[in-house]
Structure 1
Amino acid sequence: MNEYDVTGNDGGKGSLLKALAEAGFLLGLERNSDVVEMASNAPLFVNANDRRFNADAIVFDSSKVYGTPSYWMQHLFKESNGATLLNSKLQTNSSSSLIASAVSWKNPEDNKSYFRIKIVNFGSNIISLKVLIDGLDGKSIDASGSTITTLTSTNVKDENSFNEPKKVAPTTSPLENASNKMNVILPPYSLTSIDLPRKSNVIQVAGSTALHTSQ
C-alpha cells in the first residue's frame, strides 16, 4: 500500500500546488496499476483546533467542515478502481509541463461506458492540447453528454477555508467539440478531466490516445 502526501512550504495547509503534485503522483500510480495494489492520502482528517500536521485532506471543527484542494482532486480518481488503462502518449515539440493518463470505465449509475483523460499542467502557460483517440470512431462518442472538469485557481498557493470552502474546487462544463479528434485548452497550474461517454454500452478499448500540445 502507498501512502502519499505533499508537505512543506509549498503544501501550506492544503494548497492547489500540493493537490497538483499529488495528482501527478496518482497519474503515475494509475499508469503502473499492474504493480500498485492500494494508495491512500494520509493523514485524511484534522481538527482545526488540534492541528498537528499541515497537509490533511479534510478539515473540521465542532460545527463546520471543508475539503482541501487535495480532497477535490481525489474526486477525479474515484473511477480509476476497476477501470481499463489505455495506452497514451504525450507528443510535444518542446519541453512540456504535462503528465496524463487515459482510462475506460463503466458508470454503474447510468450504466454507460466512458473514456476519461486526465491531464496535469504544472506550468504557468496556457496550453492547447490536441487529443487523438486511435481506433475509436467519432460517431461512437455521445457528444451531448461529454464534459470537461477543471481544478485550478488564480494563484497556485490558494487554499480553502471555513470562510471559502470551495475557493479551489472542480468546475464542470459541457465539452461542445467532443470527438475522437479535438482540441482542449488547459489553464496554467491545473488538473483537467475529460469525460467522453460511449453511445454503446460495450467498452471498446481504443488502440491508443495521443496528446499533442502547442503553445
Structure 2
Amino acid sequence: MPRPDRVLIVDDHAVVRRGIRAYLEALDEVEVVAEAGDGEEALEVLAAMAVHQELPDVVLLDLVMPRMDGVTATARITGQYPTVRVVVLTSFGEMERVHAALSSGAAGYLLKTAGPAEVAAAIGAATRDETFLDPTVARRLTREMVSPPTGLGALTGRERDVLILVGAGCSNREIAEELAISERTARTHVSNVLRKLQLTSRTQAALVAVREGLVRPCQ
C-alpha cells in the first residue's frame, strides 16, 4: 500500500480542527500528523518536525488567524520548507485573497463548504505538484482571464485602499500598519496594483491616485 499523505492542520478554531481531523482520519490515503492554532505555531511545529526529518507533505490552513495570517504563513512555509505544499481551506473566497494566497505559493484553495472528497483531492494534487482550486474560485479566475477588467475597475477593494495609501506617500510598512496586514502582504498588494494598472513604479501609481482624486493622508 502507498504511504498516506501526511497533513498538518492549521486553524485558530479548535472545533474546526477537530472536525477536519475527523473526516480526514476516515480516509486511508491521508494521515493527520499534527495540528496548530495559527501561522506562528505552525512554523514552530514544522521546525520541530524538521529536526526529526518528519515534515508533513501538506499543510492545510485557514487564511484569517491571529498573530500570523495565512498568506504570510504560506510564504514562510513554502520558503523555508520547499518540499511541503500548502492548501488553503477557508471561508473567504474574495479574489484578492485567492491571488495573495496563490502568489505566496499555495498549491490549492478550497472553501470550507468543500466536502471530504474535495479536500482529499486537493491534498493529493498538492503532493503531485498540481494545483487544485475550489470550483467557484476556478470559475472566477477563468472569467478574469477571459474578460479582464481594466483601469481602476481591475482593482479589488483592498488594492484600491493600497493605491490610495501609495498616493499619500506611504511605505509598505505604513500601508501594513494602516490596513492591519503584514508588510509582505502589503508588498504583494502594491505589486498587484502596478501589474493591473500596467505601471512600472510607485511614483506612477501615486500620480494615478492623485489624478483620480483618491489621495488621503496616512494616519
Query: Normalized per residue, which structure has more helix?
Result: 2
TM-score by length of 1: 0.27
Query: Normalized per residue, which structure has more strand?
Result: 1
Structure of greater relative contact order (alpha carbons < 8 Å, 6+ residues apart): 1
